[in-house]
Amino acid sequence: MRRQALLISLGLLALPAAGWAQNAPSADQIIKSLTPTATTPTTRGIRIAPGGSVGSTSSSASQPPSAAPAVSLTVQFATGSADLTPQAMQVLDNLGRALTDRTLTAYRFRIEGHTDTVGTREYNKELSDRRAAAVVDYLASKFNVDRSRIEAIGMGEDGLLIQTPDQTSEPRNRRVQVVNIGS
């Protein structure tokens, strides 16, 4: 009986590791997330979805808006800087492999940097700009992704994944969103 309890406890300890694995999807999972489907609209426009995220819309008024193919990645930076951590490079290596896969080479992508609410809005906007640029620089230098295929934009505190009050440290809000913006 004690052995069973120990095994169950060890199994429960392993659960958080599975959650972390979802923050670092494989190159194949990224490709699947960023590949347009048959229901992805052929014309693009900008819409602001609930929660402030940006997606694409169809030009047909009778068809509901559909979000552009996207993936949210946890890309860790040194606190208050745009320096990539070793963990960030592992995540970006999968993204680099995905963006250079023949399935995605015809598409362009927007790299959106996001922050939490610690600091001023202006500081967070500037920091997210630098972080998005660091991701683009990494992908261009390590994987030879053509810079004309990837654009960096800092979102700052806009589009929080988890709504928090000002000055709240929330790691899930410090992320990079990759959006397929078409060919």
What is the C-alpha to C-alpha distance for residues 31 and 33, in angstroms, rounded to an integer? 5
- The alpha carbon torsion through 18, 25, 164, 166 (nearest 10 deg) reads 120
User: What architecture is the 24-182 domain classified under in CATH?
Assistant: 2-Layer Sandwich (3.30)
For the segment 63-70, the average pLDDT, to the nearest whole number, is: 67
Beta bridge partners of 120: none
Q: Packing angle between helix 86-99 and helix 121-143, nearest 10 degrees?
A: 60
Q: Provide the CB-side half-sphere exposure for 16 (13 A, CA).
A: 3
Q: What is the pLDDT of residue 141?
A: 98
**Lowest-pLDDT range, 35-39, 58-62, 174-178?**
58-62
Q: What is the pLDDT of residue 164?
A: 96
Which value, in Å, is the radius of gyration of the alpha carbons in the chain?
Answer: 18
Residue in 83, 85, 154, 163 with CA at minimum distance from that of residue 173: 163
Neighbours of 114 (CB within 10 A): 24
What is the C-alpha to C-alpha distance for residues 77 and 154, in angstroms, rounded to an integer? 14
Q: What is the pLDDT of residue 45?
A: 45
Q: What is the pLDDT of residue 39?
A: 64
Percent of the chain past pLDDT 90, that is, above it, reads 63
Q: What's the sign of the alpha-carbon dihedral 109, 42, 44, 37? A: negative
Domain ranges of the chain: 24-182
The DSSP bridge pattern shows strands 70-73 and 108-114 to be: unpaired
